[in-house]
Amino acid sequence: MTEPATTPDASAAGTWTLGDLRVNRIGLGAMRLTGGAAFEEGPPSDRQVSIRVLRRAVELGVNHIDTASFYFSRLRSANELVNTALSPYPADLVIVAKVGPGRDPSGEWYSATPEQLRGQVEENLRQLGLDHLDVVILRRMSQPSIAEHFGALATLRDAGLVRHLGVSNVSAAQLAQAQAIAPVVCVQNQFGLDVRAQDEVLRSCGEQGIAFVPYFAIAGQGRERGAAASPGGSERVLAVARAHGASPAQVRLAWTLHHGPHVLAIPGTGNPDHLEANVAAGALRLTDEEMRLLGAPPA
């Protein structure tokens, strides 16, 4: 008789604390809920499927959702989908919103000035139906210094609109710049098997007890276009995947999580099957030999 499949649970990967908010290390990125890469022309997602993915994520123990008001496609808004699917929100759900980049109603991009950040925070609050945001991440655009922008967010934290702050797309020096202004609870930088030039930031976060949250951990160099556009489907990844009866995407997520207990994952998907597989990857344990084979020293 065939054993029933085990339902994956996001708690299998362990937990981390964002300030005073405990989250499971496997979360969900909301970008792909809108269809495609959220930023490109193409058919909108199936609204009911996206809502089902969000509700199923919570059922599987996901209590960390990463979103932004600029995650929208032709007919879909990620924040609106999150609000519709999950409000009233579970008490343990942590919603993380990004600001810095912005898009006008037609979809044109702009880089927010420090003075515009309050409007971006308030737009996220309106769309999500909240009176404060658990975590707001400043996504650095091209500016070499983030002090003025981060200082503006620190003011909003003091005003009660924001509980905790994070930064994204930063160097170790820029992280230190932010830390001198207000506590940073998380750093979102691109990191994965194909993109590894983050050792200093990764190490600095671990030393300071800051969550390191890679984006495009599965997509790699494919970025918004997805894993199918990445050249990184190497034989080494496939070999490890075969050994565990897992997919290459699951191996990529597991490899990322193995870089320290402070490393979180926020794989984005609007596909219910991919959601289940991503959550299941949190229970995948790679050996030291497999980590070396994939090109990283054992933890």
pLDDT digits (tens, 9 = 90+) for 161-216: 999 999 999 999 999 999 999 999 999 999 988 776 678 999 999 999 999 999 98
287 pLDDT higher than 70: yes
CATH match for 14-232+261-287 among 3.20.20.100, 2.40.170.20, 3.30.420.10, 3.40.390.10: 3.20.20.100
Whole-structure pTM value: 0.92
Sign of CA pseudo-dihedral 105, 69, 112, 188: negative
Question: Average model confidence (pLDDT) for the chain?
Answer: 91
Q: Whose structure tokens read 């932010």?
A: 178
**Digit-coded pLDDT (tens) for 76-122:** 999 999 999 999 999 999 999 999 999 998 889 999 999 999 999 99
> Where in the sequence numbering do the catalytic residues fall?
71
Please give the average per-residue pLDDT across 220-233, as a whole number: 47
pLDDT confidence bin for 223, thresholds 50/70/90:
very low
Burial class (CB in 10 A: 0-12, 13-18, 19+), 179: middle
Output the six-digit token pair for 4. Answer: 């029933």
Higher pLDDT, 262 or 221: 262
The 3 state secondary structure assigned to the chain is CCCCCCCCCHHHHCEEEECCEEEECECEECHHHHCCCCCCCCCCCCHHHHHHHHHHHHHCCCCEEEEECCCECCCCEHHHHHHHHHCCCCCCCEEEEEECEEECCCCCEEECCHHHHHHHHHHHHHHHCCCCEEEEEEECCCCCCCHHHHHHHHHHHHCCCEEEEEEECCCHHHHHHHHCCCCEEEEECECCCCCCCCHHHHHHHHHHCCEECCECCCCHHHHHHCHHHCCCCCHHHHHHHHHHCCCHHHHHHHHHHCCCCCECECCECCCHHHHHHHHHHHHCCCCHHHHHHCCCCCC
pLDDT confidence bin for 126, thresholds 50/70/90:
very high
Output the six-digit token pair for 275. Answer: 């959601």
